[in-house]
A = this chain, B = another copy of it.
Amino acid sequence: MRLTLGGAMGAVAHKAKLYEQVAERLADAISAGTLQPGDRLPSVRQLSLRERVSISTVLQAYLHLESLGLIETRPQSGHYVRRRERPRLAEPQVSRPASSATAVTVSGLVASVYRSMGDARMVKLGAASPAPELLPVRRLYRELNALSRESRDRSIQYDALPGCPELRQQLARRSMDWGCSLAADDFITTFGASEAIHLCLLAVARPGDTIAIESPAYYGTLQSIEALGLRALEIPCCPRNGMQMEALEAALTRRRIAAVLAVPSFSNPVGSCMPDVRRQRLVNLLDAHDVPLIEDDIYGDLHFGAERPRSCKAFDTRGNVLLCSSFSKTLAPGFRVGYVAPGRFRERVELLKFSTSVTTATVPQYAIARFLQNGGYDRHLRSLRRRLAAQVERMAEAVAEFFPEGTRVTRPSGGALLWVELPRQVDSLALSAKALEAGISIAPGPIFSARMDSYRHCFRLNCGHPWTPRIEAAMSTLGALARSLT
A residues apposed to B, CB below 8 Å:
107, 110-111, 114-115, 118, 127, 129, 132, 135, 137-138, 140-141, 144-145, 147-148, 152-161, 191-192, 194-195, 198, 202, 206-208, 220, 223-224, 226-229, 328, 332-337, 347, 350-352, 354-364, 367
- A-B CB contact pairs (8 Å), 17 listed: A110-B354, A129-B157, A132-B156, A135-B156, A141-B152, A144-B144, A144-B363, A157-B333, A158-B333, A202-B227, A206-B207, A224-B355, A334-B359, A335-B363, A336-B360, A361-B361, A361-B364
Whether the pair A363, B334 counts as a contact (CB closer than 8 A) is yes
Q: Roughly how many angstroms separate A359 CA and B195 CA in the complex, as a whole number? A: 10
Assembly stoichiometry (copies): 2
Contact call A362/B335, Cβ cutoff below 8 A: yes
Quick check: A191 and B191 within 8 Å, CB to CB? yes
Is B336's CB under 8 angstroms from A361's CB? yes
Inter-subunit contact A158/B363 (CB<8 Å): no
Chain A binding surface, main DSSP class: helix
- Please give me the residue from chain B that is nearest to A355 by CB atom: B223
Residues in B neighbouring A227, C-beta threshold 8 A? 202, 351-352, 355-356
- Docked pose: A355 CA to B107 CA in angstroms: 9
Q: How long is the Cα–Cα vector from A114 to B359 in the complex, in angstroms?
A: 12
**Contacting pair A194 B355 (CB below 8 A):** yes
The residue on B at minimum CB distance from A347 is: B111
Name which residue of chain B comes closest to A133, CB basis: B153
Question: Which residues on the B side are within 8 Å of A224 (C-beta)?
Answer: 355-356
Given contacts A135-B156, A158-B333, contact A198 B141 (CB under 8 A): no
Considering the chains assembled together, what is the distance between the CA atoms of A334 and B334 in angstroms?
17
CB distance from A165 to the nearest CB of B (A): 11
B194 touches A207 (CB 8 A): no
The listed residue with most B CB atoms (<10 A of its CB), out of A110, A157, A202, is A157
- Whether B354 contacts A336 by the Cβ 8 Å rule is no
* A357 pairs with B111, CB closer than 8 A: no
Residues of B within 8 A of A138 (CB): 152
CB distance from A17 to the nearest CB of B (A): 19
Q: Tell whether A111 pairs with B351 under 8 Å between CB atoms, given A137-B152, A144-B144, A156-B137.
A: yes
**A357 to chain B: which residues have CB within 8 Å?**
191-192, 194-195, 198, 336, 357
Complex CA gap A194/B361 in Å reads 13
Inter-chain contacts of A328 with B (CB < 8 A)? 158, 358
Beyond A111-B347, A194-B357, A364-B363, is A334–B159 a contact (Cβ under 8 Å)? yes
A363 to B141, CA, bound (A): 10
Q: Are A148 and B141 in contact (CB under 8 A)?
A: yes
A367 contacts across to B, CB distance below 8 A = 363
Which of A155, A158, A207, A229 gathers most chain B CB within 10 Å?
A: A158
CB-CB < 8 A to A347: which residues of B? 111
Question: A-B pairs with the 9 shortest C-beta distances?
Answer: A223-B355, A207-B207, A334-B362, A336-B361, A191-B357, A141-B148, A132-B153, A158-B333, A224-B355
Chain B residues within an 8 Å CB radius of A137: 152-153, 156
A220-B358 contact in complex given A156-B334, A156-B335, A334-B156, C-beta closer than 8 Å: yes
CA distance A154 to B120 in the complex (A): 11
Known: A161-B114, A229-B207. Is A335-B361 also a contact (CB below 8 A)? yes
